[in-house]
């Protein structure tokens, strides 16, 4: 199912009869996966270790499709806003909080409302960094989701801000978030995989000398190979803000960023709210400046 774009998720039932339910965004995807399961059930390998092959009828049940529903509606009703750093992230029907910068966001199908620890940690690091900047800051947001980090960067004065996501729904939601906050003209949204060579020329045109900040709230596996993409797009003295990995994965992630080229400025941990809860981590990495580029850092560095 990893190659099926319309696969939404799975749930496992408890009780006497164990059952896994799979959720899809289209009837075509549902029937394609059902056909593949039936093929697997009929294959000789499916009966390995048993005297009789698996009966496809026992292995898979294809109930009638459920009627479409808005899965995000209950969360929109529940979401009353969240304070993160100097921001109050809230839906339009919730009033801003005095003393905090307002960031309008309507919860939807794209990741990023400010409630997840990884989003909060990257946003706090971004805010602290941009508050001390003395010159134009060019920001690149990889896997923008709802657009929350890209919009926050624009509200803090970064320009231009480039935001990428391979999910067309996320790009649409991010565009709506940018428009709601009045920064649509500052953010360049693009649909596509950040590793696609077709995007390289466009990113180079936005920041010929490299971006000052690259945001990457991704998985641990994606981050272990991320520096090969970021290296030619990050200027000397620029920073990579990474999160999306657990504390136990931090060594593996950070070891993938060569210390000869980057120094670790800070690491953050989101302490679990209750025993057994995952501890999320984040880090800020700064690209070392070659000796011949010291003057540039003195003008535009943090």
Claim to verify: residue 233 and residue 281 sit in the same structural domain = yes
Detail the DSSP E strand segments found in the chain: 7-13, 19-24, 82-84, 87-90, 101-104, 139-142, 161-165, 187-191, 211-217, 234-246, 262-270, 280-287
Claim to verify: residue 32 and residue 83 sit in the same structural domain = no
pLDDT class for 38, splitting at 50, 70, 90? Answer: confident
Tokens for 34?
A: 């059902």
Higher pLDDT, 103 or 17: 103
Claim to verify: residue 111 and residue 151 sit in the same structural domain = yes
Claim to verify: residue 54 and residue 85 sit in the same structural domain = no
pLDDT class for 57, splitting at 50, 70, 90? Answer: low
Lowest model confidence (mean pLDDT) among 45-49, 101-105, 118-122, 240-244:
45-49
Mean pLDDT of 198-215: 94
Claim to verify: residue 121 and residue 254 sit in the same structural domain = yes
Percent of the chain past pLDDT 90, that is, above it, reads: 56
Claim to verify: residue 293 and residue 178 sit in the same structural domain = yes
- Whether 65 is in a domain gets the answer no
Higher pLDDT, 121 or 82: 121
- Residue 115, pLDDT above cutoff 70: yes
Mean pLDDT of 6-29: 75
Claim to verify: residue 85 and residue 52 sit in the same structural domain = no
Higher pLDDT, 179 or 30: 179
Claim to verify: residue 29 and residue 102 sit in the same structural domain = no
Please give the pLDDT value at position 253.
97
Query: 38: domain range?
Result: 7-59
Hunting for tokens 């399961």 — which residue is that? Answer: 37
* Domains identified in the chain, total number: 2
Mean pLDDT of 19-37: 81
Map residue 126 onto helix, strand or coil: helix
Please give the pLDDT value at position 181.
96
Max avg pLDDT among 111-115, 160-164, 292-296: 160-164
- Whether 67 is in a domain gets the answer no
State the pairing for strand pair 19-24/7-13.
Answer: antiparallel
Q: How far apart are CA 251 and CA 288, in angstroms?
A: 20
- Residue 154, pLDDT above cutoff 70: yes
Nearest alpha carbon to residue 217 among 127, 148, 271: 148
């Amino acid at each position: 199912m990893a190659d099926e774009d319309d696969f939404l998720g799975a749930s496992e039932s408890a009780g006497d009869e164990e059952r896994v339910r799979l959720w899809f965004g289209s009837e075509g995807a549902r029937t394609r996966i059902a056909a593949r399961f039936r093929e697997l059930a009929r294959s000789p390998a499916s009966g390995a270790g048993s005297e009789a092959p698996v009966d496809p009828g026992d292995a898979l049940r294809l109930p009638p499709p459920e009627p479409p529903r808005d899965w995000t509606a209950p969360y929109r009703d529940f979401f009353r806003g969240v304070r993160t750093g100097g921001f109050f992230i809230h839906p339009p029907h919730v009033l801003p909080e005095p003393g905090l910068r307002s960031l309008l966001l309507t919860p939807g199908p794209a990741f990023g409302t400010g409630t997840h620890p990884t989003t909060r940690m990257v946003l706090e690091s971004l805010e602290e960094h941009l508050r001390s900047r003395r010159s134009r800051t060019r920001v690149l947001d990889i896997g923008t989701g709802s657009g929350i980090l890209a919009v926050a960067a624009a509200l803090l004065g970064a320009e231009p801000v480039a935001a990428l996501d391979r999910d067309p729904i996320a790009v649409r939601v991010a565009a709506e978030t940018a428009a709601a906050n009045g920064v649509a003209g500052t953010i360049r949204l693009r649909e596509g995989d950040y590793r696609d060579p077709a995007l390289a020329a466009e990113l180079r045109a936005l920041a010929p000398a490299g971006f000052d900040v690259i945001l990457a709230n991704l998985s641990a596996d994606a981050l272990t190979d991320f520096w090969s993409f970021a290296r030619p797009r990050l200027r000397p003295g620029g920073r990579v803000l990474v999160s999306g990995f657990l504390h136990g994965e931090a060594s593996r992630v950070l070891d993938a960023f060569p210390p000869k080229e980057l120094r670790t400025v800070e690491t953050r941990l989101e302490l679990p709210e209750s025993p057994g809860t995952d501890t999320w981590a984040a880090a800020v990495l700064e690209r070392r400046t070659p000796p011949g580029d010291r003057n540039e850092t003195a003008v535009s560095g943090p």
